[in-house]
Structure formats: C-alpha cells, structure tokens
Chain A
C-alpha cells in the first residue's frame, strides 16, 4: 500500500472495495440457500398451521437453537448485503459528500434496527 493516512491518502485503485464485493456475493449465496431450503420445507409440509410454521424457526438440534441461528445468519447476511448495495446506490447518484454521508448513516441505522427487530422476533418464540 502507498499512502494510507492523511488528506493525501490513496482512495482509489485495484482491490479498493474488493472486500465488500466479495462479501456481497457470499451473503447472496447464504441467503439463496436459506430461501430455497425454507421454500422447500414449506412446499413439502402439508396443511401448514401456526405450530408447523413456528417449527421452521425454533427447532433445535441437541438443544442448540439451530432454526433461530440459521434465520439469524440469513438476516445478518441480508443486512450486510443490503448495506453494500444501498451504499452503491448513494455512491452512484448522490454526489455532495454531506448528503451522501447522511444517507449512508441512515442506511446503517435502518438495517441495524431491522437486524435487532428480527433477532427480537426470533428469540421471543
């Protein structure tokens, strides 16, 4: 790396943003697998009622809350994925730094709130 600190630090170049790019793809794969798994479980469960539906999320394996952990993994992946994607939108269309920063902070808070809300829902059942 060249200049990494101060006002003249290098902010462009090869590999800049690579971590986010890779993370967005990994989280996408996690969400796809979770979605397909959940969809197949719903599809092959006849006459779904409340008890069967909750069972997809609060089942345990050797008293480990696997259903909740998988759902949490999917929702955390979703939030990181969406943070990168929405940040890309702001970077493409919003040029003034102040407005862009405000929107990015709002995005992060929006998603942190969503993740907390989802965890709260999951651990209530």
Chain B
C-alpha cells in the first residue's frame, strides 16, 4: 500500500466539548441530547418557578389573581414558553424511548423517522401553546 501515510483523517471517539458544534449528530442524536437538556431545565425550574406558580394558583382566590397578573408579563411568558417546550420535548421523546424499550421502531429508518415525528409534534404543540399563551386565540 503506497498511500497509507497520505492523509490523516479526523478521528472522532468520545466527543469533546470543543467538538460539539462541528460534530454532525443525526436527528435522533439531537433529540437525545435535547431530552437531557430539557430534563435538566425542568429539574432546575421545578422548585424555583413551577411550584411557586402552582402555589399561587391554588392557595387562595387572591393569590390566583396574583399568579394571573404575574403570568401576563411578556418576560414570564417567554420563560414559560421555554418550559412548555422543555416539557413537550421531554414528553414526546420519552414516549419514543418507551417504544424503543419494547423493541418498537429500532431499525435505522424507523428510528430516524420517529425522531422526526417527535420534533414535529413537540414543536407544533409548543407553537400552539405559545399562540394561546400570547393570546392569539
């Protein structure tokens, strides 16, 4: 073999943080890392955003109104929309994982297709909830 030393091809083994942006993940890979990110976001938001809002919504008629006026601010709405996306992505991707766990759709084509369906469902539902949240309908 004459050309064995010709050119050193890039090798990717464990991905390093610095390679994240140029590493081309398949759609199912993007779904997977976003499943992790959305889970972590919900974990952090639970006792500092979600439960305090739930607390206000349920404690009394007065705090319910306080919660409503809090949520009417655009900044809070944007934060909530982020959490809504996190929940919907985590939910839809989680259903896909449950199907994979019982060996449904594990072939290459089916797995990539179901990843696409997860993004389609979670993003369109996020859009729908977003339009409702911002009072479009």
Interface residues of A (CB under 8 A from B): 25, 28-29, 32, 35, 50, 53-54, 57, 78, 82, 85-86, 89, 107, 110-111, 113-114, 117-118, 121-122, 124-125
Contacts and interface: CB of A to CB of B under 8 A. Distances in A.
B121 to A, nearest CB: 14
Nearest to B36: A89
Nearest to A93: B17
B58 A110 contact: no
Nearest to B55: A121
B99 to A, nearest CB: 11
A20 to B, nearest CB: 14
Contacts of A78: 46
B51 A28 contact: no
A86 B59 contact: no
B47 A125 contact: no
A54 B60 CA distance: 9
A69 to B, nearest CB: 16
Given A32-B95, A86-B43, 13 more contacts: A25-B101, A28-B94, A82-B43, A85-B36, A85-B39, A86-B40, A107-B43, A117-B47, A118-B51, A118-B54, A121-B58, A121-B59, A124-B59
Q: Is the interface of A mostly helix, strand, loop or mixed?
A: helix
Contacts of B43: 82, 85-86, 107, 110-111
Nearest to A50: B64
10 contacts: A25-B98, A29-B98, A50-B61, A82-B39, A86-B39, A113-B47, A114-B46, A117-B47, A118-B54, A122-B58
A114 B91 contact: no
